[in-house]
Amino acid sequence: MELTKKERAMLDGEMGKAAAKAMEILVAVGKIYSAGRMVPVGSVQIAGVSYKTIGDAGIEFLQGFADTGAKCIVPAYLNPAGMDLLEWEGMGVPKAFAQKQLEIVGLYEKMGVKATCTCAPYQIGIVPKLGEHLAWSESSAVCYANSVLGARTNRESGMSALAAALCGVTPEFGLHLEENRKAGVVFELECRLKDRYDYAVLGAHVGKIAGERNPAFVPRAEDKKPTNDMLKLLGAAMAATGAVALFNFKDATPEFNVREGAEKIVVEQKMLDETVAKMNTGEEPELIAIGCPHCSIDEVCEIAEKVKGKKLGAKKLWVCTSRGVKAVADAKGYTQVIEEAGGKVVCDTCMVVCPIEQMGFGITGTDSGKAAQYLPGFCKQKVVFRRLEDMI
Ligand code: F3S
């Protein structure tokens, strides 16, 4: 790889041990993917935060970096942790888990990573520009940044994202290059596209078919333009059931570039109904968890309107979001409405990276295609994949 003077100096240890190790990781990744050079990044988003996902080996890795004086040189933000960092006891998170989790967040903070603990940083003012290069790692955030914002990032691992934060660059390959951003398969939509849930279902279905190709979507002329929240649910589901990191949606995303000779596939409602039937493995949810990816303030408002004046009884409702969005929800009175119904606005975490299987839950309801895909394997849950109002 061609390295600049500064990058070479980092690799040679002139900027400290941590920077040298980080640059070594980036060069190794670059060589694997035949990158010609590094590209500066505007920000970094780091997954691999929950103790449930990284375990003791992850703590050891982070400790190794933090002990050698590692410091981020570009803005870097954390993905959700395994619990609400302030109210974990009220959630029922085991104490031993909580101690490890606080240690992990502390190590990241020591290196200068901001403990935003959200997979939707773009909802709290971290909004990359069109064409800006990033090193983000959470798959739904990557998909949103590339597709809805038109920024450029590969799906980094937690380790390569941290290395990028310490060096300020990432290897230039994959979705950083124009030629790899074209759609390789076009989905012509002849299905219902009414609300967020419909987009989550569409994503769950298409992710399995698209594989690693970038999909493009062409809706019917009478369909309304999707909101950014709908596109968020669509991308998250495709990134979970497939490996989609970029999609185009006609008249809704900044890019719409289809490769010549791209395959065309018609999506009908009956196909989506079959996908939903396969993903539903439970009937009566013990926990209803909304906010995968983390809820925007519009979504929290929508949920508050749906539960207003109702009592949820013994069932738990979690509305997962960032601390920044919750502050707005508190001020607007949405949190109070949700709590009066018996629900909880949960920050810093989500139903997938929180150890819900250790907390007594066995059946979880969600309207997210991504959560519905991950909950069985990662959290040993039976899944109810339905619209929120149907579950209520
Ligand atoms: Fe975010 Fe957790 Fe879903 S990290 S995308 S809410 S699995």
CA of 350 to the centre of ligand 1 (A): 6
- C-alpha 289 chain-centroid distance: 15
Is 105's pLDDT higher than 90? yes
pLDDT at 194 over 90: yes
Q: Quick one: average pLDDT of 84-89?
A: 97
Residue 381: name the closest of 248, 257, 255, 285 by CA. Answer: 285
- The per-residue pLDDT for range 145-172, each reduced to its tens digit, is 999 999 999 999 999 999 999 999 999 9
Helices and strands: H and E segment counts in the chain: 15, 14
What is the best residue among 353, 354, 373, 383 to mutate for testing ligand 1's pocket, by most ligand atoms within 8 Å of CB?
353
Whether cis (ω within 30° of 0) applies to the bond prior to 293 is: yes
State the pLDDT at residue 313: 84
Q: Can you read off the two tokens belonging to residue 378?
A: 């990662």
**Residue 341 pLDDT exceeds 90:** yes
Residues with CB under 6 A from ligand 1: 79-80, 119, 138, 140, 236, 292-294, 320, 350, 352-353, 370-371, 374
Is pLDDT above 90 for 392?
A: no
Q: Which residues pair with 346 in a beta bridge?
A: 320
Among 54, 349, 350, residue to substitute to test ligand 1 (most atoms within 8 Å of Cβ) = 350
User: Which of 292, 321, 322, 381 most suits a substitution to test ligand 1, by most atoms within 8 Å of the C-beta?
Assistant: 292
Instruction: Give distance in angstroms: CA of 188 to centre of ligand 1.
Output: 28
Mean pLDDT value of segment 343-352:
97
- Report pLDDT digits (tens) over 3-21: 999 999 999 999 999 999 9
Using CA positions, which residue lies closest to atom 3 of ligand 1?
292
pLDDT at 315: 87
Judge whether residue 384 has pLDDT over 90.
Answer: yes
Q: Report whether pLDDT(49) > 90.
A: yes
Residue type for position 372: A
What pLDDT is attached to residue 29?
A: 98
Start-to-end Cα distance in the chain: 55
* Structure token digits, residue 199: 């987009």
| Closest among 172, 248, 231 to 196, alpha carbons compared | 231
pLDDT, tens digit, 9 for 90 and up, residues 278-331: 999 999 999 999 999 999 999 999 999 999 999 988 889 999 999 999 999 999
| Preceding omega of 215 cis (within 30 degrees of 0) | no
Residue with tokens 């590094």: 38
User: CA 142, CA 155: separation in Å to the nearest integer?
Assistant: 6
What integer pLDDT is reported at residue 188 of this predicted model?
Answer: 98
In percent, how much of the chain has pLDDT > 70? Answer: 100
What is the reported pLDDT for 356?
Answer: 97
Quick one: pLDDT band at residue 44, thresholds 50, 70, 90? very high
Closest CA to 96 of 285, 359, 319: 359
Task: Please report, rounded to a whole number, the percentage of residues in the chain having pLDDT higher than 90.
Answer: 98
In this prediction, residue 245 carries a pLDDT of 98
What is the pLDDT at residue 314?
82
Q: What is the pLDDT of residue 263?
A: 97
Atom 6 (ligand 1) nearest CA = 292
**φ/ψ of residue 95, rounded to 5:** -60, -40
Q: Is the pLDDT of residue 62 over 90?
A: yes
Specify the ligand 1 atom closest to the Cα of 139: 5
Give the model confidence (pLDDT) of 207-248 as tens digits: 999 977 999 999 999 999 999 999 999 999 999 999 999 999
Å from CA of 342 to ligand 1 middle: 23
